[in-house]
Structure 1
Amino acid sequence: MFDFFWNLASFIVALSILVTVHEYGHFWVARRAKVEVLRFSIGFGKPLCRWYDKQGTEYVIAMIPLGGYVKMLDERVDDVPIERRHLAFNNKPVLSRIAVVAAGPLANFLFAILVLAVMYMIGVQSAKPVVGEVQVNSRAAMANVQSGDHILMMSDKEVETWQDVTFSLMSHLGEEYIEVKVQDAQQQIAIRKINVNGWKLDKQDEAPLHAIGITPFRPALTLTLGHIADNSAAQQAGLKVNDTLLAVNNQPLSDWQQFVQIIQSSANQNLTLSIERNTINQSLEITPHERRADDGTLQGFLGVVPLLEKWPDGYIETRHYGPWDSMVLGAEKTFDLIRLSFDMIGNLLSGQVSVKNLSGPVGIAVGAGNSVSYGIVAFLSFLALISVNLGVFNLLPLPVLDGGHLMYYIIELIRKKPVSEKTQELGFKVGAMVLIALTCFALLNDVSRL
C-alpha cells in the first residue's frame, strides 16, 4: 500500500512540474504576442485554489492532476467585444499563432536541457558498460561479443553508460548491423559487428540488450541479506539485514540462486533456515508465502534482497561537469532523446517495436516512484526523459494536440487562408478518437504489467 501512495505522489509531483512547464511555454509566448490570457490551469475539474494577476488572468490549481491548459481570448469560443478583438488569439497573424502553439513542446525540451545540466553538475554515478554474460546463439554471440568486453563506441558514437548503449542500439532498429568498438579482457581493441537485420522489439517490456543476448556485468549476489520487506515471511520469521544464509533443512547453500530455487519450490512449507548473525550460528523456522508467477504457477516468496559483492576497481565512475559543459551535455542528450523518441514512433508504425511496449499513467507513476527512491539524480533523469516524451507526443499531427494545430496553421501559411471550420472539427473528432484509443491501449498494457 505504501508503494502505491508513494508512486501516486511521485507521479503527481512529476506530472505537475512537466505540465506547468509546458503550459507556461504557451502562456509566456501568448503574452508577448499580445494575446489576452483568460486562465492558466494546472489540472482539470473543480478548482482547489485560484488567484488573479494585474492583467486579469485567472490562475487555477484544479482537483484532477492529469494535465492543464491555457485559455486565451478567442472569437471561435467567446463573445468578444469589438474593442478587444485585437487581443483574440484567432485574430493574430499565423506566425504568431504558430509560435504560441509550438512554445509548449519547446518549453519541455528547454526544461529537459536545464534538468540534465543540473544533473551533470551534481554528478552522475554510473557503471561502465562491461559485458557480463552473452547468451549462446544470440546476435551478440554470433558477433563474437564476449564476457568482459568493455563497450567504447556504438557505430561512431562514444558511450559511457549502459543507458547510452541501449539508446544507441534502439536507434539502429531496422538497419542491417551495428558496429561496436570494444576493449576486451586482455585490453585489446576490437570491432564487433552485430547483425540487427530483422530484429524487432516485439515482446512486452523486453530490454533491447537482453533481446540481442547481452547481460551487463554486475557483481555476484552474496548470501548476506541487504533488505527485508515489511510484512514478509522473512520479517515474520525474524530474519534481519546482514544475516548470512548457511543452509536450508540442513542442506548447505553454495550460492543465492540455489536458495531462490529452494524457496520458490516450497510455498507454504515449513523450513528450517540456518543463518549466521553477528558471528553466531542459529536456526529459524520459516514458511515462504505464495505468489503466482508469470506462467501461472504458485511459487514460494520470502521478501528478501541479497547484498552484492563489491564492484571491481574502476567499474563505477562519478562524473562532474562545470556549468557550461553541463549545459552542452544537456543539450546534446536532449537532442538524442528527441531523435530517439521520433525514431520509436516510426518503429511503432512500422512494426519494429510492438505496441505492447506502450506505457500509460500507471507505468509513468511506477517509474516516477522508483526514480525518487533511487535519489535526486535518478529523478532528474526521469523528469528529463518524460519531458522530452511529452514534448514529442504533443508534436504529433493529431488535431487535439499542439502538432495538429501546427499542421492546420502551416497549411494556412501555405494556402494563404485558414482550413475550414468543418474540416477542423472533423479532424478534432478523429484525433480525439485516436488519442482515446492510444490511452486505453497504454492503460491495458499497464494493467497487464501489474
Structure 2
Amino acid sequence: MIQTVLAFVFALGSLIIFHELGHFLVARWCGVRVLRFSIGMGKPIFVKKFGNSPTEWTISAIPLGGYVKMLDSREVPKSEMTDDDLREDFSGKSVWRRIAIVAAGPIANFLLAIVLFSVLFMVGIADPIAKIRVASQTSTAYQSGFRHGDHILRIDGEAVQSWSDMRWKLMQKGLNKQDAIIAFERPNRDRATSMDQLEIKLPTSQLSASDLEADFLNKMGIGLYRGLATIQEVSPNGLAAKAGLQAGDQILEIDDHKILDGRELVDIISASPGKTLTMLVSSAKQEFEVQITPDSVLENGKRIGRIQVPLASNMEMTTITYSGLDAIAKGAFKTWQTSVLTLKMIGNMLLGDVSWKNITGPLTIADYAGQTARIGLISYISFIALISISLGVMNLLPIPVLDGGHLLYYSLEVLTGRPIPDKYAEMAQRGGLAVLLCLMVVAFFNDIVRLMS
C-alpha cells in the first residue's frame, strides 16, 4: 500500500508540475505576471515566495490537479491597476499569446512523454517476440491459417518488432474496422533448419467495441508463445521427485495429449485433483513415461490439482533499442500514435461504440502506478508517459474549464475578431464544470466497481 501511494503521488505530482510549468514558463515569456503556482486544488497548506518575485509557490489541500493563477483584468477592476499591472495583464495580451499560454500545459505533457519514450528507446525495452500461441482449432486465428509457434514478421507491410508492437498494430486495425494482412514465418517440417514465409488475412474488422475493450487477442484465439513446459526445479521429497522428474525435464504429453506449453500443463494438472496422469517426458538423455497423481487442494471453494513444481520461463525476448535522433523520432511517433488512439477511444465512447466503463479515475491510476512500480523502472516510466499523454489529450478537449475550452474561446475570437461576451463565457464555464463533475463521478464509480470486482 505504501509503495502504491508513493508511486501514485510521484507520478501524478510530476505530471501536474510539468503541465503547470508549461503554462508558467510561456506566461512569463509572454510578459504575463504569475500570481500563484499551485500543486493541488483548494485551500493552500504551504505558501512560499522567493525574493522579489510576485509568484506564490503553493501546495494545496486537494492533491488532484493544480493551477497557475495570472494577473487578469477580468478579476481586478482596471481602475485599480497600475501601468505595470496593465503591461503584465493576461487579458490584455494578444489572442495568439493567450493561445500559446493555454496550449503550453498540454504541450508540456506531450513533450514529457516524448522525452520519456526516447530515453526508454535509448536504454532498450525488453519485450517478448511476436511469436503466437494458438491452442484452439475452432478459433479465428486457427481458421485464418495461424498455427502454434508462428512468428509474426509484418502487419500490412510494417515490420513487427515485438509482442506489444503486434498487439498495438492489431488494435488499431480493429478500431479502424480493417482486416490485417500478416506476414509470418513457420518452421518447415521437412527441413528442420528452414523457415517458410507465409501470409494470411486476419479479420480484425469483425472485432466489436466490447472485444477491443477486453482481451481481443484471446477472443481471436491468439496467446503469447511460451515454449515447452520445462521444469525449473524439483523438491527432493515432492511428488515430482518421487515420480522421477528432474530440473530441466520437458513435459511433452499427458495421457497422449500433446502439451503446448507450461500454461496448458498447469490447466490440465489443476483440472485433475487426485487423478493419476501419465506423462511423456523428455530429458537430456532420453524420452520416458512417468505416472503422477496431483494433490487435491481446496482453493476458493473448489478442489484443484497441484504437483508443486515451478516451471521455467521459456519466453523468447527481444530488446528494442534506438540511438540518438532515431530514439527521439520513435518517441515522438509513439506519443502521436497513442494520442490518436486515445482520441479515437473517446470518440467511440461518445458514439456509444465503447463502454463508459473505460473511464478511469485516481484509484485505478494509483493501482496501476503501484503495479508498474513493482514490475520495474522501465514499466513505471512507460506508465508515466502514457498517463502524461492522456492528461494532455484530456486537457485539449473543448470542455469549458479545461484548457481546450479556453482554446475554443480564443479560436472563436480569432474568427470573429472579438472576444466572447462575459455572460456567455460564464454560462459555458458552469456547463463545463457540470460536465467535469459528472465525468469525475463516473470515473470514481468505475474505479470502485473495478476494485471490488
Same fold (TM over 0.5): yes
Q: What's the counterpart of residue 212 of structure 1?
A: 220
Q: Distance in 2 between matches of 1:303 and 1:65?
A: 46
Partner residue, 2:181: 179
1:232-251 correspondence to structure 2 within 5 Å? 246=239
Which sits farther off after the overlay, 356-365 or 79-88?
A: 79-88
**2:134, 2:146 within 8 Å by CA — same for their partners in 1?**
no
Q: Give the distance between the partners of 2:44 and 2:235, measured in 1 at CA.
A: 50
Q: Which residue does 1:309 correspond to in 2?
A: 312
* Number of the residue aligned with 1:154: 155
- In structure 2, relative to structure 1, the CA distance for the partners of 1:62 and 1:119 (3 Å cut) is same
Contact 2:109 2:389 in 1 (8 A): yes
Of the three residues 173, 178, 201, the one matched with 2:209 is 201
Q: Give how far 1:411 is off.
A: 0.7
1:16-415 mapped onto 2 (5 Å cutoff): 16-53=13-50, 54-79=52-77, 81-83=81-83, 84-172=85-173, 173-186=175-188, 187-202=195-210, 206-219=214-227, 246=239, 255-261=265-271, 288=298, 290=300, 298-299=301-302, 307-311=310-314, 315-415=316-416
* Alpha carbons of structure 1 residues 58 and 317: separation in structure 2 relative to 1, 3 Å: same
Match of 1:13 among 10, 13, 31: 10
Q: Relative to structure 1, is the Cα distance of residues 137 and 318 closer, same or farther in structure 2, using a 3 angstrom cutoff? A: same
Cα deviation for residue 380 of structure 1 reads 1.1
Question: 1:235 aligns to what?
Answer: none
The 10-residue stretch of structure 1 (195-204 or 114-123) with the greater mean CA deviation from structure 2: 195-204
SS of 2:209's equivalent? coil
Query: What are structure 1's unaligned runs of at least 5 residues?
Result: 226-240, 266-284, 291-297
* Whole-angstrom CA distance in 2 between matches of 1:26 and 1:303: 58
> How far apart are 1:115 and its partner, in Å?
0.6
Q: Number of matched residues? A: 400
| Distance in 2 separating the partners of 1:88 and 1:33 | 10
Between the aligned partners of 2:237 and 2:363, the Cα distance in structure 1 is: 36
Pairwise CA RMSD: 3.1
* TM superposition score normalised by structure 2: 0.80
Query: Greater CA radius of gyration, 1 or 2?
Result: 2
What is the alpha-carbon distance in structure 1 between the residues aligned to residue 307 and residue 114 of structure 2?
38
Higher mean C-alpha displacement, 124-133 vs 38-47: 38-47
Cα gap change, 1:188/1:44 in structure 2, threshold over 3 Å: closer, same or farther?
same
Question: Given that residues 180 and 202 in structure 2 are in contact (C-alpha distance below 8 angstroms), is that contact kept between their aligned partners in structure 1?
Answer: yes
The letter of the residue matching 2:127 is S
Rate the CA distance shift 1:136–1:35 in 2: closer, same or farther, 3 A. farther
The DSSP-based 3-state class of the residue aligned with 1:184 is strand
Structure 2 residue aligned with 1:280:
none
Does the CA contact (< 8 Å) of 1:7 and 1:366 recur in 2?
Answer: yes
Shift of 1:45: 3.2
On the 8 A contact 1:289/1:302 being kept in 2, the answer is: no
Percent identity of paired positions between Structure 1 and Structure 2 = 35
Tell me by how many angstroms 1:376 deviates. Answer: 1.1
Counterparts in 2 of 1:338 and 1:330: CA distance versus 1, 3 Å: same
Contact preservation (8 Å) 1:222, 1:306? no
- CA 1:36–1:129: 2 relative to 1, 3 Å: same
Task: Sort the Cα spacing of 1:15 and 1:120 in 2 relative to 1 into closer, same or farther, 3 A.
Answer: same
Match for residue 228 of structure 1?
Answer: none
How much does 1:303 deviate?
Answer: 13
| Structure 1 SS opposite 2:210 | coil
- Aligned-partner Cα distance in 1 for 2:307–2:365: 26
**Alpha-carbon deviation of 1:244?**
8.7
> Does the 8 Å contact 1:221/1:256 carry over to 2?
no
Q: Per-residue displacement from partner, 1:132-158 (whole Å, max 9, x unpaired)?
A: 125444432332222212112222322
Distance apart, 1:384 and its partner CA: 0.9
Q: CA deviation at 1:432?
A: 1.9
Mapped to 1, the partners of 2:215 and 2:223 lie a distance apart of: 10
Secondary structure of 1:108's aligned partner: helix
**Contact in 1 for aligned 2:399/2:405 (Cα 8 Å):** yes
Instruction: Assess if the C-alpha contact under 8 Å between 2:270 and 2:305 holds in 1.
Output: no
| Contact kept in structure 2, 1:151 and 1:181, CA below 8 Å | yes
Q: Distance in 1 between matches of 2:161 and 2:212?
A: 27
